[in-house]
A and B are shown apart, each in its own frame.
Chain A
Amino acid sequence: MATDLRKKIAIIGAAETDTVGAIPDITQLGLHGQAARNAIRDAGIDKSQIDGLACAGESVVSVADYLDIQPRYIDGTSVGGSSFMIHVAHAVLALEAGYCNYVLITHGESGRSRVGRGGFGSQSATIPGQFEAPYGTFGPPNTFTVPIVAHMKKYGTTEEQIASVAVATRAWAAKNPRAMFRDPITVEDVLASRMIAWPIHLLECCLVTDGGGALILTTADRARDFKKPPVYILGTGEGAENMMISSMHDFTESLAFKNAATRAFEQARIDRSDVDHLMLYDAFAHTPMYGLEALGFVKPGESGPFFAAGKSAPGGELPINTNGGGLSYTHTGMYGMFALQESVRQLRGEAAAQLDDVKVSIAHGPAGFFAASGTVIMTNQAP
């Protein structure tokens, strides 16, 4: 029976932009911001209390960044004019479940003046279009990668350590007949591969492939009636931080990663030592390093030595990216689905590189470079 949600959730703030009509001096993103500010003031709430954000028409990450909040409930459902009713519906569930405490839902649209609106031919008026693109960013290889030198500077992380992520991942790919690249590689091979954006080489960049995946979920009691052993969701988390790589707060860590990871562990109520297997979305060799640190399996700065010691590789203490990852298995563009698939295979006991006795697996990854993040903790242990 469904949870009784009657009278459980209420609206505490509501406001529009200062004016409506023609607003030629404020961008579309600014309109989201102004409406949000007015609702915050209407409620008399402190901005720092808002831990949930939903919007349509602009990226939920852009609105979060504009307000400088880092929500850990995000709903970017954008299906048209009634998206906001759907945001309310989701928010009711999230709030009732205690997943977050205050959800802000925003709308802003420069429909008449078309100021600072994304879309064909007008990207140069967006914030990233003005403050990043003119400096030669063309996509993930020279943008997603920008933070790693700050990590190297702060922690002494080396090019060899970063390269070792790709080496370990390839060792797993060698065990997976479906992987695109299966020949073993060394740190020397990685560092000798073509330079893409120093300190990142070709073999430290994900593949570009075609493919897909899907999941079906139901309630735990229903799940027992189906053919395959259930994989139970122990915890989930999400986070949003920056609309541009350059608006990250600290280039040695991702706040979106941390919020997603922290939320997921809070919900799962397990220790790191309970986790047998990790899938850390590897768009580039540095991405799983930030993931490992955000999830708390090593202290900040210790991911380089961890990977260099082979701890994630076959035979290591914490197997990571056992399908061969985005670096060697496959990477369609939005690889997160494949990370989830490998977690499920490991927990069912049907992976190509099957581990012994896997009870808990985590799939964690970025979205939009380090802009946002999601974490799912799964187990095969029945409730």
Chain B
Amino acid sequence: MTSPARKQLPTPTPETAPYWEGAKAHELRLQHCNDCDKPFFYPRIFCPICLGDNVEWKAMSGKGTLLTYVLSARPAPGFEEELPYAIAIVKLDEGPHLMSNIVETEITPENLPAGMALEVVFDDVNETISLPKFRPAS
């Protein structure tokens, strides 16, 4: 998959770089607090539950469910050819939730019931950035 150059792409920071390196390697990596024994998202310099430093990056299963979404009928820059597109919140099986797009399926309300099972796929946008997206679980 490719995306038009006009789309806004992430600029990784030292705090988020491991997430984007994981995505490049087609792995959904989140931080996991070993004291709380829970993963969290978005990346931070400490665990947001206990504020502790005993945190490491771990690969998630890439499985999740569709919590909520809209089907955008108007485009952000670069999305003109993809209307409508699903801006979705995906709850990972490990707990945290994140925003993504739903791909590789018909983008209609009927085809996208909240609660449906999803799995991650990676959109290799350019040399450095791959965006985690989600498709119906196989």
Contact = CB atoms under 8 A, between A and B. Distances in A.
Interface of A: 24-27, 30, 33-34, 37, 40-41, 47, 66-68, 115-116, 122-125, 127, 129-138, 141-143, 145-150, 152-153, 194-200, 244-247, 251
Contact of A136 (B12, B46, B49, B87): B87
Contacts of B84: 195, 198
B89 interface: yes
Interface residues of B, number: 46
A197 B74 contact: yes
17 contacts: A30-B44, A33-B45, A34-B45, A124-B8, A125-B13, A131-B10, A133-B10, A135-B131, A136-B7, A138-B75, A146-B99, A153-B68, A153-B113, A196-B73, A247-B42, A251-B67, A251-B89
Instruction: Give chain B's interface secondary structure class.
Output: loop
B71 interface: yes
Interface of B: 7-16, 20, 42, 44-46, 48-49, 51, 67-79, 82, 84-85, 87, 89, 97-101, 109, 113-115, 131
Given A125-B12, A132-B99, 11 more contacts: A27-B14, A37-B51, A47-B51, A129-B8, A133-B8, A136-B82, A136-B85, A137-B87, A148-B68, A150-B67, A197-B71
Contacts of B89: 146, 150, 246, 251
A89 B114 CA distance: 47
B68 A197 contact: no
B70 A66 contact: no
Given A141-B74, A149-B68, A198-B73, A67 B48 contact: yes
A350 to B, nearest CB: 39
Contacts of B20: 130
Nearest to B49: A68
B13 A149 contact: no
B48 to A, nearest CB: 4
A132 B72 CA distance: 14
Given A124-B9, A247-B42, A142 B74 contact: yes
Contacts of A131: 10, 42, 98-99
A247 B98 CA distance: 7
A116 B8 contact: no
